[in-house]
Amino acid sequence: MTFKPRLELLIATHNAGKVRELQQTLRELPLTLRYLAEFPDISTVEETGNTYEANAILKALSYAEQTGICALGDDSGLEVDALGGKPGVLSARFGGENASDQNRTEKLLRVLLPHRKGEITARFICCIAFAGWQSSSTEPRTTKPRILNVSTGTCEGAIALEPRGTKGFGYDPIFIPSGYNETFGELSEDVKGSLSHRAKALSATRGFLTQFLRAT
Amino acid sequence: MTFKPRLELLIATHNAGKVRELQQTLRELPLTLRYLAEFPDISTVEETGNTYEANAILKALSYAEQTGICALGDDSGLEVDALGGKPGVLSARFGGENASDQNRTEKLLRVLLPHRKGEITARFICCIAFAGWQSSSTEPRTTKPRILNVSTGTCEGAIALEPRGTKGFGYDPIFIPSGYNETFGELSEDVKGSLSHRAKALSATRGFLTQFLRAT
């Protein structure tokens, strides 16, 4: 077997919770993970896309191009059926640009008050895009990176009456995945890691990366 | 271990060469492959997208929606540097809608005659999209399918002076992958299956499917 250098992979998110989930899922692959914090002068990418896919692609491509390192970009959101799928792709900006996770969950619960007749069904969606260079021998890093994989994961569930639990981040304390009574704020990392939208998208991404590392 | 039914997966292409490559790559997964030929009344999807990704997504989504079966859609093309990336996403229609593979390769060689100073570099691109339903228990097949994975593979190479070999299909007889002297029309299925654009996209798709089958 010939020597293969470890692939450098930039985790293109500032969210510590996401970074941890990515580290967990990718820990057995021959990767050297890099982080945005290592690049203080990097330009932040505005999430101007209309879909999770578009935002994940925007981030992965821009960060890979700025750093010359393969990058994973992600976007996710919560779709509440009673709100016609909102906040959806705007989940992270729901309640204003500078709102905290707590502000956002409280605002969502307020908006949902008139809909409290039965179960308020919802789903989390996560999209992860990989931008990079397929063959380092023929495509030097002076070429633009290309999106080589995009994986989407979904997790069906319902909105809790009030926030419960302190684990996770974002809307986790008010989201009860189907088949459970606890919220993502209460469920263990192991359980969340087996059924969450991000876990599913990450698992597919790991499948892609495993094959990618073998082929290149 | 609980019993898991085999996932039905529709191979959404009429191209016999592509079908064989897909069968080869997916043969070890617990899938029941289905084919467009089994659905004589299905409406053919027009490839109106501007990118390989858009066309692969259009096909996978439409065929999954029409049949209620998870579907793989694909699109591919040949990008010749001397032609600014053409024929690219229009590769299958180069030379007219009803042109044969032979018509198309002959036309391309004619167009390239004035560019025959040195090596004519090119690349094959293939994009494969998976449309389906993530969790059969909570999302009955009455909901619309969703794109859960998109994988892209590239293969760098050069255009031969004339067609060589009878293996493969499309532009294979005039494409020489980097590191080889033979065209894809001459190289064995094993070699092509290890380095082609479609092999790379399929390999990533297999990685996704392996994880998807585990999780659902």
Question: Is residue B139 a part of any domain in this protein?
Answer: yes
Q: Are B147 and A53 an interchain contact pair (Cβ–Cβ within 8 Å)?
A: yes
Candidates B81, B121, B125, B150, partner chain A, best to mutate (most A CBs within 10 A): B150
In angstroms, the Cα distances linking A200 to A23, A149, A152, A172, B182 are 14, 14, 7, 16, 41
Residue B76 DSSP code: E
Residues in chain B with CB shorter than 8 Å from the CB of A195 are 215
Tell me the sheet residues that pair with A125.
A77, A154
Q: How far is B120 from chain A (nearest CA, A)?
A: 14
> How much is the pLDDT for A216?
65
Chain B interface, best mutation among A26, A52, A135, A216, by max B CB count within 10 A: A135
Percent of chain A with pLDDT over 70: 94
CATH of the domain at B113: 3.90.950.10
Phi-psi region of A138 (alpha: psi -120 to 50; beta: other; left: phi over 0): alpha
Contact check, Cβ <8 Å, B148/A151: yes
The pLDDT confidence band at residue A95, using thresholds 50, 70 and 90, is: confident
Task: List, in sequence order, every residue forming a beta bridge with B130; answer none if it has no partner.
Answer: B72, B149
Question: Residues A103-138: pLDDT tens digits?
Answer: 999 999 999 999 988 899 999 999 999 999 976 544
Instruction: Please check whether residue A2 lies inside any domain of the structure.
Output: no
Contact B138 A152 (CB under 8 A): no
Among B74, B75, B81, B101, the one annotated catalytic: B75
Q: Is residue B58 assigned to a domain?
A: yes
What pLDDT is stored for residue B31 in this prediction?
A: 92
- Is B41 annotated in the active site? no
A128, β-bridge pairs = A74, A151
Task: Give me the domain span that covers residue A84.
Answer: 7-215
Count Cα neighbours of B173 within 13 Å in the Cβ-side half-sphere: 16
- Mean predicted lDDT score pLDDT of chain B: 89
| Assigned domain for A1 exists | no
List the structure tokens of A199: 């876990």
- CA A76 to each of CA A50, A73, B123: distance values in angstroms, whole numbers, following the listed order: 12, 11, 33
Which pLDDT does position A169 carry in this prediction? 87
Residue range B199-212: mean pLDDT, rounded: 88
Q: How far apart are CA B30 and CA B213, in angstroms?
A: 8
Q: How far is A213 from chain B (nearest CA, A)?
A: 10
Selecting from B134, B203, B212 the residue whose C-beta is nearest the C-beta of A215 gives: B203
**Collapsed DSSP state (helix, strand, coil) of residue B130:** strand
Cβ atoms within 10 A of the Cβ of B166, count? 9
Burial level of A37, CB count in 10 A (0-12/13-18/19+)? exposed
Shortest CA gap B201–chain A (Å) = 8
Q: Specify if B2 maps to a domain.
A: no
Nearest-CB residue to A139 (from B146, B152, B156): B156
From the candidates A41, A74, A75, A190, which is the catalytic residue?
A: A75
Q: What is the mean pLDDT of residues B168-178?
A: 93
Name the residue in chain B with its Cα closest to that of A156.
B138
* pLDDT confidence tier of residue A92, bands split at 50, 70 and 90: confident
- Per-residue model confidence (pLDDT) at position A210: 86
Instruction: Provide the pLDDT confidence category of residue B137 given band limits of 50, 70 and 90.
Output: very low
Phi-psi region of B68 (alpha: psi -120 to 50; beta: other; left: phi over 0): left
User: Residue B215: which of A152, A200, A209 has the nearest Cβ?
Assistant: A200
Taking the CA of residue B6 and the nearest CA in chain A, the distance in Å comes to 18
- Report the distance separating Cα A131 and Cα B29, nearest Å: 27
Interface contact flag, B152 A147, Cβ < 8 Å: yes
In a domain, B119, yes or no: yes
Residue at A29 is within a domain: yes
Structure tokens at B94: 């180069």
Is B203 within 8 Å of A209 when comparing Cβ atoms?
no
ipTM of the complex: 0.76
- pLDDT, tens digit, for every residue of B117-129? 889 999 999 999 9
Query: What is the reported pTM?
Result: 0.84
The number of residues in chain A equals 216
Residues 6+ apart with CB under 8 A from A84: none
Query: Tell me: the pLDDT tens digits for A27-55?
Result: 888 999 999 989 989 999 988 899 999 99
- pLDDT band for position A17 (cuts 50, 70, 90): confident
B16 falls within a domain: yes
pLDDT confidence of residue B99: 86
Total number of domains constituting chain B: 1
